Amino acid sequence: MKSVVCYGDSNTWGYATVARPDGRYSHDERWPGILRTELGTGWMVIEEGLGGRTTVNDDPVEGLERNGRTYLLPCLLTHLPIDVFVIMLGTVDLKARFNKTAWEIAAGVGALVTIAKSAAVGRSGGAPEILVICPPETRTDLKQFADLFTGAYEKSLQLARHYEAMARQLGVHFLNAGALVKSSTVDGFHLDPPEHTVLGRAVAAEIRRIAGES
């Protein structure tokens, strides 16, 4: 059985924009669950989403455990061997308190990609295939989160080109989620259920291509 690890923030965790128990979409609703269904029984899909996860920054407000860099290597070693590592992070880095440019956010993802490439967690001690997903841009209206995400919309529009350039430089695969789905009007940066379905299916198609199954 092949394995894919989905490493992300609350949009990978399945933060619900509509009423759900515990505020979280069910396993079969969130995009890694859609991915699991689409790939079928030959694949193990491992969900590693955490709300508030940054790329490489400690968060003085929400907690140091939100740093995507410090958890990454233990995560990878836990799940080896890994065939495909999928990473979708960067939305949290748009928070005003981090004061980062779009280029710096992409560079943070690049730092995580570099760790994943060099960690020897693929088959036979090699590197897994890596798929970088650029998250969709935020909405202009971020509702009650507007102050938290001051300036986020403008920066989010710039992410895709920086992510794509970083992925090309590091020799990994790239998918622009913003070309496929839109952030919810409910809060401006999470995904509604139909968007999870679209994204999960698109990621499945890309992984089948990467694995030579399509």
State the average pLDDT over residues 158-168. Answer: 98
What is the CATH number for 28? 3.40.50.1110
> Residue 149: pLDDT above 70?
yes
Q: Which domain holds residue 165?
A: 2-210
State the average pLDDT over residues 147-165. Answer: 98
pLDDT tens-place string over residues 41-69:
999 999 999 999 999 999 999 999 999 99
Say what the pLDDT of residue 214 is: 67
Closest CA to 52 of 18, 96, 11, 111: 11
Say what the pLDDT of residue 197 is: 98
> Residue 25: pLDDT above 90?
yes
To the nearest whole number, what is the mean pLDDT of the chain?
98
106 to each of 65, 82, 109, 120, how far by Cα in Å? 20, 23, 5, 23
Return the amino acid letter for 74: P
Return the amino acid letter for 117: K
pTM for the whole structure: 0.98
Q: How many distinct structural domains can be found in the chain?
A: 1
